[in-house]
Amino acid sequence: MSKVKTISITNFTTASGSYYEVIDLHYQHFGQDFIGAPVVLINHSLTGDANVAGSTGWWNEIVGPNLTIDTNKYAILAFNIPGNGVNDYLIEDYQAFHTGDIAEIFYQGLQALGVIELFALIGGSIGGGIAWEMAALYPSITKKLIPVAADWKASDWIIANTFFQKRLLDNSNDPLRDARIHAMLTYRTPASFSNRFRRTKNLEKNIYNVESWLIHHGDKLFNRFLLQAYKMMNHLLASVDVTRNGKSIEEIIQSIKSEIHLVAIDSDIFFAPEEDQKTFKIGKKYKKNFFYHEINSIHGHDAFLIENDAVSKIFENIF
């Protein structure tokens, strides 16, 4: 596992006007040196982190030596979204931030590391939203923009779910576990549950196996994540919107210099593929190098973390 390192971003003002003397930006670096090798930035999901490769990495079947994103060839970089609790770093007034601010912090992190241009900018889920935000702010930042199971805006469905999550996080007696259990229902699908559990019971606990699995996921998050971090991440997810400053998505797509590869999941009920299809329909009017890829899976949103072969197959053609 690569070591978590820290960059201090100084004198930062959010778009809403909140000033920070210092923001800690924690990151991990895998593979080649930034100077001389093509750099790939990978943005993590809601409760993920910068640990993308190595024995405990969340994409370690895709990122690594001789894998699709080959650490023998590329410098892989991943930032922790500030306030996600890594190294116990939290942001109290998290409502002062939106994902455009996080994109700006990531950009300043790249500058601090001497990275002028990325070969690829990839993000899963909210990480893909932040990738969109970075490309909208800095249209020449990358050669390839690859949002996975993500979108350039929080849809009404996302806003509705984050609203309910916020109520759970603020009002539940067991907020982290309850919010996680609810979230798992949007990250998977009815077919995924039926396929896996088939209404079987955990005889020891006298509950259904699907209930036992949900309790396990609630416990797992409770043991590794902080409530304040979840509140911040949930708030950020609802804030994704590259058009917030008045530019249309058409204008933004035209301004982005990179290839754009949208990667959707056919069964995703969280970041619905229809939203990406609408974006693709708009984008291909203005850009030749605009592509749509779809992962076929019964597992829904989490398929980008489960269907490693399918993700690799799509990435092979891009890399």
Output the pLDDT for position 227. Answer: 98
Position of tokens 């201090």? 8
Q: How far apart are CA 67 and CA 31, in angstroms?
A: 12
Domains and CATH numbers, the chain: 5-155+242-318 (3.40.50.1820), 157-236 (1.10.1740.110)
Position of tokens 């603020």? 170
Q: How far apart are CA 179 and CA 170, in angstroms?
A: 10
In the chain, the amino acid numbered 224 is R
Output the pLDDT for position 25. Answer: 98
CB-based contact 267:121 (threshold 8 Å)? no
pLDDT digits (tens), the chain, 319 positions: 689 999 999 999 999 999 999 999 999 999 999 989 999 999 999 999 999 999 999 999 999 999 999 999 999 999 999 999 999 999 999 999 999 999 999 999 999 999 999 999 999 999 999 999 999 999 999 999 999 999 999 999 999 999 999 999 999 999 999 999 999 999 999 999 999 999 999 999 999 999 999 999 999 999 999 999 999 999 999 999 999 999 999 999 999 999 999 999 999 999 999 999 999 999 999 999 999 999 999 999 999 999 999 999 999 999 9
Q: What angle do CA 114, 31, 48 make, to 5 degrees?
A: 85
Tokens of 254: 């035209």
pTM of the model: 0.97
CB-based contact 236:81 (threshold 8 Å)? yes
Output the pLDDT for position 1. Answer: 66
Q: How far apart are CA 290 and CA 260, in angstroms?
A: 5
Instruction: Determine the distance from the C-alpha atom of residue 119 to the mean position of all C-alpha atoms in its chain, rounded to a whole number.
Output: 18
Output the pLDDT for position 2. Answer: 84
Instruction: Determine the distance from the C-alpha atom of residue 222 to the mean position of all C-alpha atoms in its chain, rounded to a whole number.
Output: 20
- The 3-state DSSP class for residue 294 equals strand
Q: What angle do CA 27, 28, 33 make, to 5 degrees?
A: 115
